[in-house]
Amino acid sequence: MPITILIGAQWGDEGKGRAVDWLASSADIVARYAGGDNAGHTVALGSEVYKLHLVPSGILHENVVSIMGNGMVINPVNLVREIQSLREQGLDIGPERLVISSRAHIITPAHVELDRARELALGDEKIGTTLRGIGPAYLDKTNRAGIRTGDMLLDIEVFAERLSVAVAATNADLQQQGLASLDPTAAAESYLEAADYLRPYIKDVSIYLHEALKSGKRVVCEGAQGTMLDIDHGSYPFVTSSSPTAGGALTGLGVGPLFVERVIGVAKAFSTRVGGGPMPTELNGEIADRLRGTGANFWDEYGTTTGRPRRCGWLDVVMLRYAASVNGLSELMLTKMDILSGFDELKLAVAYQIDGRRHDYPPVTNEQLERAVPIYESLPGWRDDITGCRALDELPGAARNYVKRVAELCDVPIRSVSVGPEREQLVTIF
Ligand code: GDP
Ligand code: IMO
Ligand code: MG
């Protein structure tokens, strides 16, 4: 059964890009199934650092076909820009290596403006979105008013007309909030160029994958965002508007569940979150600053898409346990273990105390989650630099103990631990 689904087990930015890059070395296809250019997946390869927003991380492997699924929302202008910039970094990208679903939805300039308008209107209550138009695009999709990538295959005049109508329709909303209107014709123009460029890449992805799976090809489904940002299972409304969890991979690509063999959850060895919403283990002060880094390194905790500093705290096992359950994780991968080197003591949030009661899973309302006091278990830290470790027995005892304890507390085996951002900085455990 040749599908491996890779999911972010926290609030996004767990290191999915580097995890997919690792899995892609034994895959034929890497397929993104949700989200859009709100994602920022970093893959470091020697002196090059690739920051992928829409293009799947499999693109770094010559023999892998990268697929963008129907569950995605795609800004065609930004996609063309990304393809061109990856080409400038030396990657060979053409329609034989990148396939775009004809059923994905298009993010229009109106969606981007509406995202901004909505966040402005929410004021202090804002979600802290990436302002890429993600929410408004999914809203049009479910409202059955969206424009799809397959529409770029239509007569170009028809596509232009659809875009102009969609942009003009949002001008009333923008004006109501005191924002400038968009010129529907100008907005359509840049999209026509992008449509021309992308047309050869657009195919029926579900059929493509079905044929590939039947002939024994191995597929890695690349999650974007994370479990706690899922529209159904995350800390609603502080979520994205798609389904990053395991079920989303099936609907977001049009493949059946019987092909799935592994569901890997990627979790950072500590917690980070960018944007608003509750985060029970959030810290402020020296520990958070150490976890975040100063921004001098590309792997420090500053958003790949927006540059915003990420909120940091100890590992929240309550959330991980929940992610294991929601996604049916078969295994976990722990990333950024190297960042924990040098602490005397490390803490794991093993449960929450809310209004005098112990919770082993997150409560459903944000009001309760805001009141959650983590119950911490303390573990000894380690001093050694672990960035050169490649096998479990090379890790210091305290690091091995940390990995073992997290696996026990989530009841999911940890089969890989990354100790640096580079491809080979990985400890695999069998
Ligand atoms: P994604 O959105 O889940 O793909 O994660 P991001 O790319 O947004 O953020 C993860 C960051 O951590 C990236 O800069 C990675 O290069 C970096 N990273 C991943 N694994 C490791 C690791 O084991 N150690 C260190 N130091 N950095 C890592
Ligand atoms: P990757 O794939 C971290 C967050 C935003 C905001 C909320 C809604 O790199 O892990 P949106 O623009 O989607 O409407 O924003 O979701 N968010 C992410 N946080 N990593 C991401 O992607 C994210 N994509 C969206 O910060 O809180
Ligand atoms: Mg990211």
Write the pLDDT tens digit of every residue in 79-132: 999 999 999 999 999 999 999 999 999 999 999 999 999 999 999 999 999 999
* 392-400 average pLDDT score: 97
Tokens of 23: 């899995």
Across-strand partners of 349? 316, 376
**Catalytic residue check, 210:** no
For strand 311-313 and strand 331-335, is the pairing parallel, antiparallel, or unpaired? Answer: unpaired
- Reported as a single tens digit per residue, the pLDDT across 70-87 is 999 999 999 999 999 999
Q: If 0-12 CB within 10 Å is exposed, 13-18 middle and 19+ buried, where does residue 367 land?
A: exposed
* 240-246 average pLDDT score: 98
- Reported as a single tens digit per residue, the pLDDT across 163-185 is 999 888 888 888 888 888 899 88
Q: What is the structure's pLDDT at 64? A: 98
CA-nearest residue for atom 1, ligand 1, is 13
- Give the Cα separation of 21 and 57 in Å (integer): 6
Ligand 1 nearest atom to the CA of residue 49, by list position? 16
Q: What is the structure's pLDDT at 255? A: 97
- Reported as a single tens digit per residue, the pLDDT across 192-237 is 999 999 999 999 999 999 999 999 999 999 999 999 999 999 999 9
**Catalytic residue check, 13:** yes
Report the residue among 127, 229, 243 best suited for mutation to probe ligand 2: largest number of ligand atoms under 8 A from its CB. Answer: 229
Q: What is the structure's pLDDT at 184? A: 87
pLDDT at 304 over 80: no
Is the CB of residue 13 below 6 angstroms from any atom belonging to ligand 1?
Answer: yes
DSSP calls for 196-250: HHHGGGEE-HHHHHHHHHHTT--EEEE--S-GGG-TTTSSTTSS-SS--SHHHHH
- Reported as a single tens digit per residue, the pLDDT across 254-263 is 999 999 999 9
Ligand 2 pocket list (CB less than 6 A): 8, 11-13, 38-41, 127-130, 132, 134-135, 224-226, 229, 240-241, 274-275, 304
pLDDT mean across residues, the chain: 96
* 63-71 average pLDDT score: 98
Please report how many Cα atoms fall inside a 13 Å half-sphere around the Cα of residue 48, on the Cβ side. 13
Per the residue annotation, which of 28, 41, 61, 115 is the catalytic one? 41
- Reported as a single tens digit per residue, the pLDDT across 361-380 is 999 999 999 999 999 999 99
Q: What is the structure's pLDDT at 3? A: 98
At residue 211, φ and ψ (nearest 5 deg) are: -60, -45
Residue 76 CA to ligand 3 centre (angstroms):
20
Q: How confident is the model at residue 346 (pLDDT cuts 50, 70, 90)?
A: very high
When mean pLDDT is compared across 139-148, 180-189, 323-332, 418-427, the lowest value belongs to 180-189
Q: How confident is the model at residue 388 (pLDDT cuts 50, 70, 90)?
A: very high
- Give the Cα separation of 158 and 318 in Å (integer): 50
For strand 426-428 and strand 414-418, is the pairing parallel, antiparallel, or unpaired? Answer: antiparallel
Q: What is the structure's pLDDT at 1? A: 56
